Structure 1
Amino acid sequence: MSPELQSAGFWLQGCWVPPFEVGSGQLLRVYIPNFGPDPTLYLGRDWALTLAAALNNPGRLPISKPARQVPYAANFRRAGLWELLRPLTTEQYLIKTLGLSPAQARSILGEVNLPATQLMKNLALVWQKILTIKGLFATHSGIFFDYYEVGAAPQITLLEEAIDQEMRRGKWAVGFDNLQYMEAHEPFDSIRRLQITAGTAS
C-alpha cells in the first residue's frame, strides 16, 4: 500500500520536520514545540496551519504532494450578524457549511448522538471539532486537524476515539498537537508520532 503523504524531511521556518509517511488507516500526530528558534516566536496553531499549507502545496520541499487538496478542520466560528440572528443548528452546519447531503448529516448526527436541532454555538469545542472532522471525512479520505484548546480528559479522549473510528474505516489524517502535552504512549495503534524540533538549518 503506497503512502497518502510522505516526505524525506525538511526545514520550515527554522524548524526541522523529520521524515514521515502516512497511509490509509493511519493518523500522523505531529507534536509542535511552543517556540521556534527565536524564543519570541510562538508556534502553536499558526505554525500548524503553515505546515499544513506546505504539505498541500510543497513547491520545492521534498514532499509527495497529495492526490487532492487536504482540508483543514478549522474550529467553528460564528459568521457575523446573520449567524447571531439565525444561529446554525448541527444539521444546518453539516449541510450548508460542509456541503453534506441531508442523509449524510443525519447519519453523522446519529453516530455521535447529537440532535439535529442542537445549536452549534452551544456545543462544547470538542463536539464542534468532532462534527467538523466527521463531516470532512464524509467527503475526503484524509484531513488535517489540531488538538489545540480541546483540554484534558474526558474531552481529549472523545476526540481521540472519534478519530480512531475513522482510521478503522480506512481514512487517514495528520493531527497537530502541543509538544508539552505529549504522553508516554499513544492511545491507539493507528497513531504514528512526529516530533518537530526548533533549530537552525545547517
Structure 2
Amino acid sequence: MQVANTPRQDVRPGSMGRPLPGVPVVLVDPVTGTPSDEEGELCLDLAARPVNLMVGYTDDPARHAEAMAGGYCHTGDVATRDADGYITYVGRTDDVFKASDYKISPFELESVLLEHPAVVEAAIVPAPDPIRLAVPKAFVVLAAGWEPTAATAEAILTYAREHLARFQRVRRIEFADLPKTISGKIRRVELRTLEQQRFAASTPDVPEYRDDALRS
C-alpha cells in the first residue's frame, strides 16, 4: 500500500488519497526523469526506501533494473498531485499519449464515454494522424438496443465533445469487441498495434466513424 484514504482524512472524489506515513512518493516526468510537483509517474524514492517495498523481482535482473532505475521504484502509473497532496490516477505510462502536443489520458476520456447510455465498454488509443501525429480513437462495445450506426456514433461523439476539453476531443470511433487479458483487463497494446498497422498499410476500409465527417 502506497497511497490511500486513511481514517479521519477528507475524501476527495476521484482521488486515491495521500501517501501513507513513511512512503516517499515522488512524481517523476517519464520523459526527462526529473521530479514534478504536479504530474508524472508515481515512483518511490529509494533513498528513503519504505519498509513495505518489495526487495525486487526474483530471478529477473533485467526487470529489476528497469523497475529500480534512476534511484526510484517505478510503478508505471501516471498521476497528478494537488496543493494539499491528494493524488489522482491518470493512467499507465504505456497508455498516455500525445495529440497535437497535448498529453492524453485514456482513463479520462473513457470515463466520459462510459457515462453515455449506449456505451458498455470503451478503450481509447492513439490513431496515427499526418497532421496531429495522433488523435484519440475510441473502440466501443455497445449496450443492448443500440445499433452500430452513424447515428449512434454521432450521438456518442457529440456527448464526448460536450463533456471533454477541446484538446481531448475523441476524433474517431469504432464499434468492436475489446481484446482482454485472462483477468479481464483491456489490452490496449493490441488496439494500438492494429491502428499502427492500418496506418502503415494505408488501409482504406477501416470500419470507423470520424467526428469531422459526421459533422460535415
Instruction: Give the TM-score category using the shorter length.
Output: under 0.3
For the pair shown, the structure with the greater C-alpha radius of gyration is 2
Give the TM-score normalised by structure 2: 0.25
Higher RCO, Cα 8 Å, sep 6+: 1
Higher helix share: 1
TM-score normalised by L of structure 1: 0.26
